[in-house]
Amino acid sequence: MQLATEVRTYTCICCPLGCSIEVSIDEDGCVTDVSGYSCARGKEYAANEAIRPERMVTAIVCAKGCLEPLSVKTASPVPKESIAEVLEAIRALRLEAPVRTGAVLIEDVCATGIAVIATKDIP
């Protein structure tokens, strides 16, 4: 067994049980062991959180011709270090009503390969 140089503890946020999961990481930043999870989903979450944490990004933007704000989100989680840049890209959007739920507003936000989509209709 390879010696771990660091053990990090994460609380799984994939379901309400909130298992405490320990992830061992070697000196090269590779995951060597994961323990404390109750299911494969939690194991994957904690391993990803240790080496490449990701988050969904949600925001509210304005659209010309509509007083109602439009809620938007990334279609899938983006790397945590990209969140500020993604929010800037969303803030720079210049939209015009109408916009439909699911409309792709940015195809590949900040070269993440992930789209930003509308999550509501505005007339």
The position carrying tokens 């999550």 is 119
- By CB under 6 A, residue 30 contacts ligand SF4: no
Q: Does 104 bind ligand SF4 (CB under 6 A)?
A: no
Question: HEC string of the chain?
Answer: CCCCCEEEEEECCCCCCCCEEEEEECCCCCEEEEECCCCHHHHHHHHHHHHCCEECCEEEEEEECEEEEEEEEECCCEEHHHHHHHHHHHHCCCEECCECCCCEEECCHHHCCCCEEECCCEC
Peptide bond into 98 cis (omega under 30): yes
The answer to whether residue 12 forms part of the interface with ligand SF4 (CB under 6 A) is: yes
The 84-103 site mask, x for binding ligand SF4 (CB under 6 A), equals --------------------
- 14 lines the binding site for ligand SF4 (CB under 6 A): yes
Residue with Cβ nearer ligand SF4 (14 or 115): 14
Residue 50 near ligand SF4 by CB under 6 A: no
Nearer to ligand SF4, 77 or 87 (CB): 77
Which residue minimizes CB distance to ligand SF4? Answer: 42
Both structure tokens of 60: 């509210």
Q: Of the candidates 10, 23, 25, 42, which one interacts with ligand SF4 according to CB under 6 A?
A: 42
Q: Which residues bind ligand SF4 (CB under 6 A)?
A: 12, 14-15, 17-19, 37-39, 41-42
